[in-house]
């Protein structure tokens, strides 16, 4: 994280965070880190049934979940939450895990999670991910096989052979250029500092 990014002020005191962890020790540790960030309202649980109740009954601003809770049902929980039409369906979700294989990261991405953070949790990394989500909210995609934040970090236009998924994607071919490309001298003059006299 650069100095400019670290100087961004984010007030988490009014945020409500739901933490779902498989062990009481991990739950306590994650909640302690979040309290260090200034989070005052932390909903905490070690079982999926209570997590489902909490997410139905309250508005949550962030979900931090270990998907291996209750034998891996955390992945299903995230997928169902994304597909629901509740007020919490688009909340930022950070998945945490200790023994993550490539397949686990792929599965987490495909469920609609924003980020995956490997355990043991580093407060600095968790804070970076939270700041990233607050600074760069990605548009939501709702398809037959995926619902969640757009997984494309770099926008290079819609995929070839289709119209794209964003409302801002161009629906028609751009066409041929209307005028010739700029020469190198013309490009240099555009970015070269010019003295302005009044």
Q: What is the mean pLDDT of the chain?
A: 83
Note the pLDDT tens digit of each residue in 77-94. 999 999 998 889 999 999
Residue 133 has pLDDT above 50, yes or no: yes
Nearest residue to 174 via CA among 188, 152, 186, 157: 157
Quote the pLDDT of residue 36: 94
Distance, CA of 142 to CA of 145 (rounded, Å):
8
pTM exceeds 0.75 for this model: no
Quote the pLDDT of residue 35: 95
Q: List strand residue ranges (DSSP E) for the chain, in order.
A: 16-20, 41-45, 62-65, 93-97, 115-118, 140-142, 147-149
Element (H, E) at 160: none
Distance, CA of 182 to CA of 191 (rounded, Å):
13
Quote the pLDDT of residue 159: 58
Distance, CA of 127 to CA of 134 (rounded, Å):
11
DSSP secondary structure string for all residues of 63-93:
EEE-TTHHHHHHHHHHHHHHHS-STTTTS-E
Work out the average pLDDT over 163-189.
73
* Phi and psi at residue 112, to the nearest 5°: 110, 15
Quote the pLDDT of residue 32: 96
Domains of the chain: 3-136 (3.40.50.2300)
Distance, CA of 50 to CA of 44 (rounded, Å):
9
Quote the pLDDT of residue 3: 43
Does residue 190 or residue 127 have the better pLDDT?
127
Note the pLDDT tens digit of each residue in 91-108. 999 999 888 888 888 888
Quote the pLDDT of residue 144: 84
Q: Could you give the 3-state DSSP secondary structure of residue 132? A: helix
Which residues have C-beta within 8 Å of that of residue 88, sequence separation ≥ 6? 55, 59, 60, 63, 81
């Amino acid at each position: 994280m650069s100095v400019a990014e670290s100087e961004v002020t984010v007030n988490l005191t009014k945020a409500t965070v739901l933490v779902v962890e498989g062990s009481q020790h991990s739950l306590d540790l994650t909640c302690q880190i979040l309290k260090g960030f200034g989070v005052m309202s932390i909903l905490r649980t070690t079982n999926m049934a209570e997590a489902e109740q909490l997410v139905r009954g309250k508005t949550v601003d962030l979900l931090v979940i270990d998907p291996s809770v209750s034998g891996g049902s955390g992945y299903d929980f995230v997928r169902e939450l994304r597909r629901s039409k509740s007020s919490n369906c688009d909340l930022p979700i950070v998945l945490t895990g200790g023994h993550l294989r490539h397949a686990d990261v792929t599965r987490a991405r495909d469920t609609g999670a924003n980020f995956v953070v490997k355990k043991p949790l580093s407060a600095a990394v968790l804070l970076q991910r939270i700041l990233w989500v607050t600074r760069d909210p990605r548009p939501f995609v709702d398809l037959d096989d995926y619902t969640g934040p757009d997984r494309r970090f770099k926008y290079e236009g819609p995929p070839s052979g289709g119209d794209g998924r964003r409302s801002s994607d161009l629906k028609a071919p751009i066409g041929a250029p209307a005028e010739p490309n700029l020469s190198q001298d013309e490009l240099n003059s555009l970015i070269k500092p010019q003295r302005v006299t009044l």
